[in-house]
């Protein structure tokens, strides 16, 4: 049997931009992507703390140590600059393996979106 479990989580980061006319995705500071084990093009779930929106898109790396968290394309309509969001990825694994699996979870500084 296989189960779907949380693989990665960036807990409570501040949206720095929303670009409706970009092709799509979420731009995430590359340092945060590495720390949370999220790769370019990976499907991510977004939870907006401010308005309760939940949606999916894919991750693209932003400049290192920039603190950039920018929703692009249609997802830009679901957030406002300054909103607090949680970024989550999931993976499917064997049930027994999942029992001992530990996700990569990071807690950035909400004001700067950097790791302290």
Active site residues: 25, 58
Cα 34 to the center of its chain, rounded Å: 11
Q: ∠ at Cα 35 (71, 80), nearest 5°?
A: 20
CA 59 – CA 44 distance, rounded (Å): 7
CA 52 – CA 101 distance, rounded (Å): 28
CA 78 – CA 104 distance, rounded (Å): 25
């Amino acid at each position: 049997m296989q189960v779907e479990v949380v693989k990665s989580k960036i807990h409570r980061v501040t949206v720095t931009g929303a670009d409706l006319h970009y092709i799509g995705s979420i731009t995430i500071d590359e340092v945060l992507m590495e720390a949370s084990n999220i790769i370019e093009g990976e499907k991510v779930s977004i939870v907006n703390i401010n308005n309760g929106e939940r949606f999916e898109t894919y991750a693209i790396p932003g400049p290192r140590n920039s603190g950039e968290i920018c929703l692009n394309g249609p997802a830009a309509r679901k957030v406002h600059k300054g909103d607090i969001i949680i970024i989550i990825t999931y993976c499917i694994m064997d049930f027994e393996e999942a029992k001992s699996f530990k996700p990569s979870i990071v807690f950035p500084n909400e004001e700067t979106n950097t790791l302290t």
